């Protein structure tokens, strides 16, 4: 009587499920890293300046896109409401840095109107965002 040997075959490791798990983990980390970037303002084409300096303070960001729309910390706002909203955003802080991100195609008068509204708020320091020149 011949009993077949069930253990004649060498054991094999199927790596396909392991590859699926690795790709799932890799996809998770890639997607998670996309949400880790800090966006303070809307994307605009900033003008270049030789004397640009980075400011490391708690700041309020005003963005003016190329069509002239004004945003305060990514929320749409009218120019007339800028000073009141900045006062509300300061939360009893004596000073705040207000940075204007204006697209380089925005009319000069629009930027001046926003700057004028910011200057009416006591304790604000005004900055204009630029990007360093490209080599």
Q: Residue 108 sits in a domain of what CATH number?
A: 3.30.420.270
DSSP the chain: -PPPPTT-SPP----HHHHHHHHHHHHHHHHHHHTTS---S----PPB-TT-----S-EEEEEE-TT--EEETTEEE-GGGHHHHHHHHHTT-S-EEEEEEE-TTS-HHHHHHHHHHHHTSTTEEEEE--BPPP-
Could you list the residue range(s) of the whole structural domain that residue 70 is in?
59-128
The reply to whether 95 falls in a domain is yes
pLDDT per residue as tens digits for the range 34-87 = 776 655 556 767 677 777 666 555 688 899 998 989 999 888 999 899 889 888
The predicted structure's pLDDT at residue 71? 92
Q: Is residue 72 part of a domain?
A: yes
> For residue 104, what pLDDT band results from cuts at 50, 70 and 90?
confident
Task: Indicate whether 83 belongs to any domain.
Answer: yes
Which pLDDT does position 78 carry in this prediction? 92
* pLDDT on residue 70: 93
The answer to whether residue 4 is domain-embedded is: no
Residue 26 forms part of a structural domain: no
**Has residue 82 been placed in a domain?**
yes
For the segment 126-134, the average pLDDT, to the nearest whole number, is: 81
pLDDT digits (tens, 9 = 90+) for 2-45: 655 566 667 777 888 889 999 999 999 888 887 766 555 567 67
pLDDT tens column, 105-119: 888 889 999 999 999
Domain count, the chain: 1
- In a domain, residue 35? The reply is no
């Amino acid at each position: 009587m011949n009993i077949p040997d069930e253990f004649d075959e060498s054991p094999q490791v199927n790596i396909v499920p392991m590859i699926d798990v690795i790709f799932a983990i890799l996809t998770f980390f890639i997607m998670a890293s996309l949400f880790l970037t800090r966006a303070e303002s809307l994307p605009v084409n900033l003008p270049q300046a030789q004397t640009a300096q980075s400011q490391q303070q708690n700041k309020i960001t005003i963005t003016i896109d190329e069509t002239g729309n004004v945003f305060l910390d990514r929320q749409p706002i009218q120019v007339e409401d800028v000073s009141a909203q900045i006062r509300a955003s300061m939360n009893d802080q004596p000073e705040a840095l207000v940075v204007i991100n204006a697209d380089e195609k925005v009319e000069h008068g629009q930027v001046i109107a926003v700057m004028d509204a910011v200057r009416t708020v006591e304790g604000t320091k005004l900055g204009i965002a630029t990007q360093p020149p490209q080599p």
